[in-house]
Amino acid sequence: MYKIIYLNGRYMPIKEASISPLDRGFLFADGVYEHIQIYENKLFYPEKHLARLKRNLNAINIPALHSNAEWLTIFNTLIEKNHIDSGSNHIYLQVTRGADDHRAHVIPEKLTPTIFALTDISYLTKSIEGLAKGSRAVTIEDARRRDCCVKAISLLPNILARTYAVEHNATETIMLRDNLVTECASCNVFIVKNGIIMTPPLSSNILPGITRELTLELAAKNSMPYKEQPITKDELQNANEVWITSSSREIEPITTLDNKPVADGKAGPIWYKMITLYKDLY
Amino acid sequence: MYKIIYLNGRYMPIKEASISPLDRGFLFADGVYEHIQIYENKLFYPEKHLARLKRNLNAINIPALHSNAEWLTIFNTLIEKNHIDSGSNHIYLQVTRGADDHRAHVIPEKLTPTIFALTDISYLTKSIEGLAKGSRAVTIEDARRRDCCVKAISLLPNILARTYAVEHNATETIMLRDNLVTECASCNVFIVKNGIIMTPPLSSNILPGITRELTLELAAKNSMPYKEQPITKDELQNANEVWITSSSREIEPITTLDNKPVADGKAGPIWYKMITLYKDLY
């Protein structure tokens, strides 16, 4: 696992990789990241991830570092060096502002950003049959920062939320802010009600997930009714279907919410149609 | 600067210090920190900082690692090795959950935490005369996570806020949540109105600053009227005095707020009395 990683222009065994404790990623969570799926040995929609990376770097004033072609060369070299040729894997990429010679809050000019990338198995990716067994989620208050539309590494609230889920016999938390669904610790949320697929509209509180975007595109292309609109806790609890989406989990049906079954407690027909369309994308 | 630092049981030159990019501090901002002032060569109220460190580690389920005596040995060894014997300096201490062999949100059991500590000059500490010149602050919406009562390294909103201040010809931002003052990017906020010192009460949105606590203790001991109560934006704007407090800035009078003078635009008499009492503590 993580045999050969990429760090600042070099490929090396993970055990040899090191960063300075003065890296602002370590001191201040001053950085952004991407997670790109690899099916067999092919990157899945890397251009969408790279467009988001560019937006996120810009949002926190880290310079754009590479062209798409250069990023793809790094990712494909990692795939090659790690002999990834089967199964479901991913590229993890993190860019931080880099290390200064002292610790000060104010963003300094002209640091050299730190670029760290690796490949790993995507443990969460499952077959349709595996996904159809359904998952459990619990609701919590959204304690994250505003502007979580930027995919930043300031993830402490997210890891605490995911850990809370596991401690409560679930695999994800669905977060609410002012009684409205935002998202999960690392997924977006969809519900189905009366045949209509719904997900909260993008805002500063919601990460524009690539799987969210692909799901909406598939709904549009296949004439499946959908709406981007706010979802209340009540609407979540009374949905016919609840799904969570992410690059690694794809589209996962939540069949138990806060220890109660979602509708009849089984993965629903609209989910089944959507996951079939999604799996056909790769 | 940062000649000799401490990392995981060893003292070494900063240039030799390295951490794994799989450290959860780097990947997830999964850690906490403290900043302890050193006046001449003496630590300033280290026991208060160590009590808070213990609470913060407990809040995110990182085990208590050292006794107070052991922490003090580390800090004092740093002071000694770096020949700190004059001026205003500080210890920076950061504890993260440590490095796993892969990246996964859910908090793993039994990692060895990473402990990083260093000494540096406290650039912001000034004489009473220097402070009396006053500082400029700008107000912004508080975009931080809830639970910023825990002094965690998930500081991206804080560094963006501090940078915003500098870009707007100020040195700090005063943040508001639902029209109520919370704190600054790295300070607590006080106002004085009609002779009464006021600061927002502690809550999940407010870091329990050591300087905040010392300031309230000084007010109590010296029969200066004070209240912990919510402060609206309007009350902030119409205060007779505005102060910001932190270990490194001590008690700093804000004399310009959003480009307008605070009262007559000069450091006030109650601030002067308080900073004199504070400076007498060391």
For an interface test with B, which of A3, A119, A159 has the most B Cβ atoms less than 10 Å from its Cβ? A159
- How far apart are the C-alpha atoms of A252 and A127, rounded to whole Å? 10
Sorted by sequence, the CB contacts under 8 Å of residue B178 that are 6+ apart come out as none
Q: Taking a C-beta distance cutoff of 8 angstroms, is the pair A183, A203 a contact?
A: no
pTM of the predicted model, to two decimals?
0.96
The answer on pLDDT for B1 being more than 80 is no
Q: How confident is the model at residue B87 (pLDDT cuts 50, 70, 90)?
A: confident
Helices (H), B42-197: 46-59, 68-81, 128-132, 156-167
Q: How does strand B226-228 pair with strand B196-199?
A: parallel
CB contact under 8 A, A144 and B141: no
State the pLDDT at residue A86: 82
Q: Does B57 score more than 90 pLDDT?
A: yes
Measure in Å the smallest separation between the Cα of A243 and chain B Cα atoms.
20
Weakest mean pLDDT among A131-140, B76-85, B263-272: B76-85
DSSP state of A16: G
Across-strand partners of A31? A96
- Is B41:B90 a contact under the CB 8 Å cutoff? no
Gyration radius of chain A's alpha carbons: 19
Residue B178 sits at the chain A interface (C-beta within 8 Å): no
Q: Which residue from B55, B58, B62, B59 is spatially nearest to B114, judged by alpha carbons?
A: B62
CA distance A228 to A180: 13
Residue found under tokens 């280290």: B46
- Burial track B49-85 (b if 16+ CB lie within 10 A, e otherwise): bbebbeebbeebebeeeeeeeebeebbbebbeebebe
Is B6 in CB contact (< 8 Å) with chain A?
Answer: no
Q: Indicate the pLDDT class of residue B123, thresholds 50, 70 and 90.
A: confident
Could you tell me if B164 lies within 8 Å of chain A, comparing CB atoms?
no
- Strand order across the beta sheet in which A10-13 lies: A10-13, A4-7, A114-121, A88-96, A31-39, A42-43
Residues of A in contact with B144 (CB under 8 A): 145-146
Of B11, B106, B177, which to mutate for an interface test with A (greatest number of A Cβ within 10 Å)? B106
pLDDT in tens, B134-149: 999 999 999 999 999 9
> How far, in Å, CA of A137 to CA of A185, rounded?
11
Please identify among residues 248-277 of chain A the ones whose CB lies closer than 8 Å to any CB of chain B: none
- Tell me what the mean pLDDT of segment B70-85 comes to: 95
Distance CA A182, CA B125 (A): 42
Are B239 and B263 in contact, with CB atoms under 8 Å apart?
yes
When pLDDT is cut at 50, 70 and 90, the band that residue B124 belongs to is confident
Within B110-215, strands assigned E span 114-121, 135-141, 172-177, 180-184, 188-193, 196-199
| Confidence check: pLDDT of B86 > 90 | no
Taking a C-beta distance cutoff of 8 angstroms, is the pair A82, A3 a contact? yes
pLDDT tens, residue by residue, A243-262: 999 999 999 999 999 999 99
**In sequence order, what are the beta bridge partners of B178?**
none
Q: Which one of A105, A114, A163 makes the best mutation probe of the B interface by having the most chain B beta carbons within 10 Å?
A: A105
Span A258-277, pLDDT tens digits: 999 999 999 999 999 999 99
The verdict on whether A279 is a catalytic residue reads no
Q: Quote the minimal CA–CA distance from B100 to chain A in Å.
A: 12
Q: Inform me whether the C-beta atom of residue B8 falls under 8 Å from chain A C-beta atoms.
A: no
Contact residues, A window 117-156, toward B, CB-based 8 Å cutoff: 118, 120, 123, 141, 143-147, 152-156
In 3D, which of B157, B173, B176 has the Cα closest to residue B165? B173
CB B248 within 8 A of CB B125: yes
Q: Does an H or E element contain A236, and which?
A: helix A233-237
Query: A163 and B105: CB-CB below 8 Å?
Result: yes
**Of residues B169, B131, B138, B133, the one with CA closest to residue B236:** B138
Cβ–Cβ of A116/B21 closer than 8 Å? yes
| Domain residue ranges in chain B | 4-121, 128-279
Active site residues of B: 151
Q: Which residue positions in chain A have pLDDT lower than 50? A: none
Distance CA B282, CA B276 (A): 11
- Confidence check on the interface: ipTM exceeds 0.90, yes or no: yes
Query: What per-residue confidence (pLDDT) applies to B272?
Result: 98
- In this structure, the dihedral spanned by the alpha carbons of residues A260, A265, A270 and A274, taken in order and rounded to 10 degrees, is 90
Which of the residue ranges A130-139, A266-275, B120-129, B230-239 would you say has the lowest mean pLDDT? B120-129
* pLDDT tens readout for residues B11-37: 999 999 999 999 999 999 999 999 999
pLDDT for position B178:
95
Measure the CA angle with vertex A181, ends A149 and A88; round to 5°: 65
Structure tokens at A148: 């979580």
Instruction: Assess if CATH 3.30.470.10 describes domain A4-121.
Output: yes
B-proximal residues of A, 66-105, CB under 8 Å: 92, 94, 96, 101-105
- Sorted by sequence, the CB contacts under 8 Å of residue A109 that are 6+ apart come out as none
Q: What mean pLDDT is predicted for residues B213-223?
A: 98
Domain B128-279: CATH superfamily is D-amino Acid Aminotransferase, subunit A, domain 2 (3.20.10.10)
Q: What percent of chain B has pLDDT over 90?
A: 94
Strand partners, A95: A32, A115
